[in-house]
Amino acid sequence: MQNLLNRFLNYVRFETRPDETNLSSPSSVEQMLFAEQLTAELEKIGMEEVTLDGNGYVMATLPSNNGTEDPVIGFIAHMDTSPEAPSANVNPLVHSNYDGNDIVLNKELDIVLSPSEFPELVAYRGRTIITSNGTTLLGADDKAGIAEIITACEHLIANPSLKHGKIRIAFTPDEEIGRGADNFNVKAFGADWAYTLDGGGIGELEYENFNAAAAAISIMGRSVHPGTAKDTMINSITLARELDELLPSAESPEHTSGYEGFFHLYDLRGTVEETDMKYIIRDHDPVKFSERKKIMNAAAEEIRKRYSSAGITLAIKDQYFNMKEIIEANYHTIEAAIDAYRRAGIEPVIKPVRGGTDGARLSFMGLPCPNLFTGGHNYHGRYEYIPLQSMEKAVEVIINLCTSAKKPQK
């Protein structure tokens, strides 16, 4: 467990935020620097066929040691962290033997992680909780997944009595901006199926995810002196507010759960002259997903009608789709995971992902890829935390999957 902890604490200190304005892969130099670090580490622990391509994808092999034709299974995690929260200069804090009360992340700024706001914390009384210092996110999404995969491989290498088939691992860039699978070479990866380590709390097992789209809106107004603005000024910020009010107010992330979809305005920057808005659109149901895109188009069209002199542009781009149909046709991947969880003393909590993973797109690219827990909570913000013991259980699940992989029954 100490190796796991040290590895994770090291990883989160790497700044790997993506840059969605840069169309290169990876979108940020920092991700490539982290990829180079991981490549060197994989070679050092004894992994084989370690590669880092020009797009920032790290792949490696743990060769079979059981002499059988077991299927090749893979494990995948992403290197980038959310662009929605501060992630530079992460200072991780380790809180041993958590007592069930408030955790002070930053005394000077009065930033407190409290079970009164996050009641699931109390379930980890007596555990070791890892947080940031409250000024940044932590980065467990998805550096916990990377640490867990490498630690599991290190354990298997150090314990050759644990027999397993061929294992492939991969670390991807730019998952948080929807590009994690853009340049993933499924054929070169060569796995029969895989798992992303990109989930939340201990026990979560997911094979349904949102259908996802991104919407970018640009509003061009007209700026004139406010003293003579009557009937001439067109305040693009006001138009942006009106457009947002045309969307269903109760269908936002803070008001939805389970299978409920949403519109999420996550970035708004503007002046009187010009305002840019960025949304993500999500729904598990493909029909409702299509309807949401129509609602967004209708809102933009309504603002065009109200303000014919303004310029309104809207671009909607599909990002990924619900992998449910692919995984249900390959349900042996879930059965294997359920068995691996239970062998680790964990009862699976099968639930839909209220988000997406690289595995969603990879499933449609021919690599069935459900999602396993990493153990983290409150991703994408300063209140993110992860219990070390949950990470340890994730490592155990990976090892169980590696040592029990069998060809599916026809």
DSSP assigned state of 72:
P
* CA quadruple 235, 240, 243, 244: dihedral, nearest 10: -140
User: What is residue 234's DSSP assignment?
Assistant: B
To the query of whether residue 175 is one of the catalytic residues in this protein, the response is: yes
Phi/psi-derived region of residue 347, left when phi > 0, alpha when psi is between -120 and 50, beta in every other case: beta
Integer Cα distance of 386 and 200 in angstroms: 9
Contacts for 294 with CB less than 8 Å, ≥ 6 apart: none
Catalytic residue flag (residue 80): yes
Give all strands (DSSP E) within 4-91, no chain letters: 48-52, 58-62, 73-78
The CA distances from residue 234 to 222, 223, 224, 238, 310, in Å, are: 5, 7, 8, 8, 7
R_g over Cα of the chain: 23
d(CA 271, CA 238): 10
CA 394 to chain centroid, in Å, comes to: 16
Residue reference for tokens 């201990």: 202
Instruction: For CA atoms 170, 172, 176, 177, give the dihedral sign.
Output: negative
Q: State the residue for tokens 């060569």.
A: 190
HEC states along 357-401?
A: CHHHHHHHCCCCCCEEECCCECCCCCCCEEEHHHHHHHHHHHHHH
Q: Is omega for the bond preceding 286 within 30 degrees of 0, making it cis?
A: no
Cβ pair 317, 213 in contact under 8 A: yes
**Catalytic residue (choose from 175, 208, 283, 396):** 175
Instruction: Indicate which residue of 80, 174, 192, 208 is catalytic.
Output: 80
Asked if residues 273 and 302 have their Cβ atoms less than 8 Å apart, the reply is no
CB 258 within 8 A of CB 352: yes
- Who contacts 44 (Cβ-Cβ below 8 Å, separation ≥6)? none
Those residues whose C-beta lies under 8 Å from the C-beta of residue 381, and which sit 6 or more positions away, are 84, 85, 137
3-state secondary structure (DSSP) of residue 253: helix
For residue 218, list its beta bridge partners.
Answer: 276, 313
Provide the annotated active-site residues.
80, 175
